Chains A and B, each alone.
Chain A
Amino acid sequence: MSFSEQQVRQAFEQLHAPRAAIDATLQRIEQLRTQEEASRSVEPASSKDFRVIRSCGRTWRVGLAAACVALALVGVLGVGCKLYFEPTAYVGIDVNPSIELGVNRFDIVVEVRGINEDGEAVLQQAPLLYRSFDEALELLGKSEAFRASVESAAVMEITISSDNEAQTQHLCIQGDRFIEEMPCHGTCSHASDEDRHEAHSHGMGVARYQAARELLALDSSLTMEDCAALSMRELRDRIAAYEMTETADEESPAGSSEEGEAAADQAAGNHHGQGLGGGHGRGGRERHGG
């Protein structure tokens, strides 16, 4: 210890608590003891109240800090929840049934919706919510209700509606792979948000609505309600039949129009008879992926 440090020690050692301060303190403590004993007989909790009042300032600061931390956590949680629960792509699957899956930026299914009654029945059997898109498609493919509708003659169309080009691409690749694994025919394509909203307003999935519009353009005797009751196979068969008729009319305007009309009538009356699943893809959609 240096000389100055020794002097500091020496200086403070000379300081003693004055007798008057000690006596005043002892007196004050005894006073408090008397008050406490008196108040205890009337109000047992008064000494605790005294402590609570004294700690008020610190409690206020701790409370404020806790509130700030809680607010920050709520903010982080809110942003996290928004990122997780907000669908960034909608995947419509139309055969008949028609369903739609809302997929978030992490390719997790965060929304499921049956567009028609058959679609709702499928979703009741297959719990697709909060599964990865891949896993959801796998579960859907294994579900009996869905499997029954995708026999070899059926047509399945998958449409992706998203502003995210990259996500659209890889969801489409997964969609194409899913179609390949199924016994039916089909395609995966992109549709705009407007098409999606318009289709929903008519109670149809996007692919079914686009096929219905194609058919209505060819057959003005039908209504949108009529088209809503048809499966994708039936819609595509009828479109193909009308297209064949038109082609036949162009090739031999005098002789074979009756044959073409007969083909169209046959298609209109026999919904499951023709293997024409590949003859579609019109209606302004962009084909993506494989």
Chain B
Amino acid sequence: MRSAKDIERAMTAHADAVWRACALHCASQADVQDAFQETFIKYAQADGTMFADDEHRKAWLLRVAINQCKDMLRARSRSDVSLDETVATVELVSSDGVVQPGSVLFEVAEALRSLDDPPRTPLYLSLCEGYTAPEIAEVVAAPVNTVYSWIARGKQQLREVLS
């Protein structure tokens, strides 16, 4: 297992990015917390994985977080709990109160969350994390050209939702 210092450093640098990725995918606040925790537990346990730099570490954490959320959603869809019920509990709320239900930013964030995935994840990584298409292709394990078309389609769909 990685050292406590290593884990704390990674959390300080990337906790927000991992939290946002989980919030983008998960159906409830509890799921976001679970996915967040599982991601960093995996990081702690992956002591054999070496990172070239901090960006590489961030990309790894985001990929693990996204996969974790998808696994949880799949598990939930197989269980008795209705997906509609869980989706209804989603609320993106920032701790400083800027993003609150009813605010413009809340509606915009919800619009992105309402998109299918893909293009939701590639579009999020492009708009919010500033990744290029080749970098996104590595995170989501897809061809670069496909990522380009996902981003274009996502932007189009986002415009339609917001209009």
- Write out the residue numbers on chain A whose beta carbons fall within 8 Å of the beta carbon of B117: none
- Write out the residue numbers on chain A whose beta carbons fall within 8 Å of the beta carbon of B1: 29, 32-33, 36
Closest to B93 in A: A15
Q: How far is the CA of A1 from the CA of B108 in the complex (A)?
A: 14
Binary flags per residue of A60-73, CB closer than 8 Å to B gives 1, else 0: 00000000000000
Cβ contact of B128, chosen from A4, A9, A28, cutoff 8 A? A9
Q: How far is the CA of A10 from the CA of B40 in the complex (A)?
A: 25
Determine whether the beta carbon of A22 is less than 8 Å from that of B15.
yes
Binary flags per residue of A1-42, CB closer than 8 Å to B gives 1, else 0: 110110111111111111001101110111011001000000
Q: How far is the CA of A28 from the CA of B44 in the complex (A)?
A: 11
Tell whether A47 is near chain B: CB-to-CB under 8 Å: yes
In the assembled complex, 29 residue pairs joining A and B whose CB atoms fall closer than 8 Å, in A order, are A2-B159, A4-B108, A4-B111, A4-B158, A4-B159, A8-B127, A8-B128, A9-B128, A11-B99, A11-B108, A12-B20, A12-B23, A12-B124, A15-B20, A15-B23, A15-B92, A15-B94, A16-B15, A16-B19, A17-B36, A21-B36, A24-B33, A25-B36, A25-B40, A26-B8, A29-B40, A32-B1, A32-B41, A33-B44
Q: How far is the CA of A70 from the CA of B15 in the complex (A)?
A: 44
Cβ contact of B44, chosen from A5, A22, A32, cutoff 8 A? A32
Q: How far is the CA of A21 from the CA of B15 in the complex (A)?
A: 10
Q: How far is the CA of A36 from the CA of B37 in the complex (A)?
A: 17
Closest to A14 in B: B94
- Per DSSP, chain A at the interface is helix
Determine whether the beta carbon of A14 is less than 8 Å from that of B7.
no
- Write out the residue numbers on chain A whose beta carbons fall within 8 Å of the beta carbon of B15: 16-17, 22
Q: How far is the CA of A17 from the CA of B92 in the complex (A)?
A: 12
- Write out the residue numbers on chain A whose beta carbons fall within 8 Å of the beta carbon of B159: 2, 4
- Write out the residue numbers on chain A whose beta carbons fall within 8 Å of the beta carbon of B128: 8-9, 12-13
Closest to A31 in B: B41
Cβ contact of A10, chosen from B19, B95, B105, cutoff 8 A? B105
Tell whether B133 is near chain A: CB-to-CB under 8 Å: no
Q: How far is the CA of A14 from the CA of B92 in the complex (A)?
A: 10
Closest to B158 in A: A4
Tell whether B112 is near chain A: CB-to-CB under 8 Å: yes
Closest to B92 in A: A15
B contact set with A: CB distance below 8 Å: 1, 4, 7-8, 11, 15-16, 18-20, 23-24, 33, 36-37, 40-41, 44-45, 92, 94-96, 98-99, 104-106, 108-109, 111-112, 124, 127-128, 155, 158-159, 162
Shortest Cβ distance from B103 into chain A, in angstroms?
9
Determine whether the beta carbon of B127 is less than 8 Å from that of A9.
yes
Determine whether the beta carbon of B158 is less than 8 Å from that of A5.
yes
Determine whether the beta carbon of B99 is less than 8 Å from that of A15.
yes
Determine whether the beta carbon of B33 is less than 8 Å from that of A21.
yes
Closest to A58 in B: B71
Closest to B78 in A: A57
Query: Given A17-B16, A26-B7, do A1 and B127 touch, yes or no (CB 8 Å)?
Result: yes
Q: How far is the CA of A29 from the CA of B109 in the complex (A)?
A: 31
Query: Given A15-B23, A15-B92, A32-B44, do A7 and B105 touch, yes or no (CB 8 Å)?
Result: yes
Q: How far is the CA of A125 from the CA of B143 in the complex (A)?
A: 61
- Write out the residue numbers on chain B whose beta carbons fall within 8 Å of the beta carbon of A26: 4, 7-8, 11
Excluding A17-B18, A33-B44, 20 further A-B contacts by CB distance (< 8 Å) are A1-B127, A2-B159, A4-B108, A4-B159, A8-B111, A9-B127, A9-B128, A11-B105, A12-B112, A14-B98, A17-B11, A17-B15, A17-B19, A18-B95, A21-B33, A26-B4, A26-B8, A26-B11, A33-B1, A47-B45
Q: How far is the CA of A29 from the CA of B6 in the complex (A)?
A: 12
Q: How far is the CA of A208 from the CA of B57 in the complex (A)?
A: 85
Q: How far is the CA of A32 from the CA of B4 in the complex (A)?
A: 12
Closest to B100 in A: A14
- Write out the residue numbers on chain B whose beta carbons fall within 8 Å of the beta carbon of A12: 20, 23-24, 109, 112, 124, 128
Q: How far is the CA of A12 from the CA of B121 in the complex (A)?
A: 13
Q: How far is the CA of A222 from the CA of B57 in the complex (A)?
A: 97
Query: Given A21-B19, A24-B37, A25-B36, do A14 and B105 touch, yes or no (CB 8 Å)?
Result: yes
